[in-house]
Structure 1
Amino acid sequence: MNFTDIIHLTWQDINDDKILFQRQKTMKSNTDISVRINDTMREVLDRWANKQKNEKDFVFPFLVGINSLEKRKAEVHQVVKVTNHCMNQIGAKLGIKEKLNTYVARHSSATRLLRSNAPLAMIKEKLGHKKFSTTESYLGSFEKEVEDKYLDKL
């Protein structure tokens, strides 16, 4: 999930063991995406989610009380900016030289699925893409490093 989708989650999107949502970016397509809640996700929900669990309430507190679409968009942008900053601080402490951000995290998750031999159709579905070509181009930029590694052996 990207951060915009996470921030817009409401309690009606969460059942016992899964999240069922529509991407904010492609909401008009009316395509549901299902994500199984694993132990790590459960810990995040237990620690950071709003305790009030009415169906229409946001799961996370960022957009509570913000009704204007313009202000919501600005708040999402700010949350992503702060998150990216924190990710880079953590990365620096871990000795990671590459820039880290939520965009890279989403790509990395998809790439890990691909490298674990997950079917492209499943990756496409989990990313919320309509076309395989979108998923392939999404993964392609990260596969270049793997390609270079193999070509270096020639």
Structure 2
Amino acid sequence: MNMVDIFNLKWGNIKNGFLYFIREKTKYTSRHRTEIELFLVPQAVEIIERWATPGRRKKDKFIFGVFDEAMDAEARNDAARLGVRVVNESMRRIIRKLGINNRATTVVARHTWSTILKNNVSVSYISKGLGHTSISTTEKYLGDFDQDQKREVGELIAQIAYRNKIKVDE
């Protein structure tokens, strides 16, 4: 999820172990307002419970304390920028403690989620999970296959050719 979508979550978005939301980025620009449905794994429930604003468990209240109902659009934009900065800095501290030298931001996390899934689920599923209105957007987002994937495919083709005794000059 995009961080602004997370900041906009209200308790009413959670129903029967699933999270439902419409992406803020495309809410008013897309012809079709597509609701995204995510299963809440136990780890996600733990995160929500840990970081939720205490005493605000009403359907129409924001889960996290970044936004509140009295904020106008400008105040929400300012709070979102600050919230993303705080989350990104926290991620950087965590990966440093873990001895990881890669870059970690909320955008990198979103790209990592989609890249990991690229090898295991359909592009259609990834597209829906990212909230894209078009699979072609998702295909551009995922980009080209990396060299390791190209190597794996090349080796697979070589194995198939060997098993079937296909000669290169045929």
More helix by proportion, 1 or 2? 1
Matches within 5 A, 1:1-154: 1-28=1-28, 29=30, 30-50=33-53, 51-64=55-68, 66-115=70-119, 117-140=120-143, 143-144=145-146, 146-147=148-149
TM-score by length of 2: 0.80
- Contact 1:48–1:60, Cα closer than 8 Å, also in 2: yes
| Counterpart-to-counterpart distance in 2, 1:24 and 1:145 | 35
Q: Which runs of 4+ in 1 moved over 6 A?
A: none
CA-CA distance at 1:147 after TM superposition: 4.8
Unaligned runs of 5+ in 1: none
CA-CA distance at 1:93 after TM superposition: 1.9
Between structure 1 and structure 2, the one with the greater Rg is 2
| Counterpart-to-counterpart distance in 2, 1:108 and 1:99 | 11
Q: Residues 129 and 92 (structure 1 numbering): CA distance in 2 closer, same or farther, change over 3 Å?
A: same
The percentage of aligned residue pairs carrying the same residue is 33
Q: Number of residues paired by the alignment?
A: 151
Q: Cα deviation per residue 1:8-37 (whole Å; 9 max; x = unaligned)?
A: 011111112001100000012311000101
| Counterpart-to-counterpart distance in 1, 2:123 and 2:18 | 21
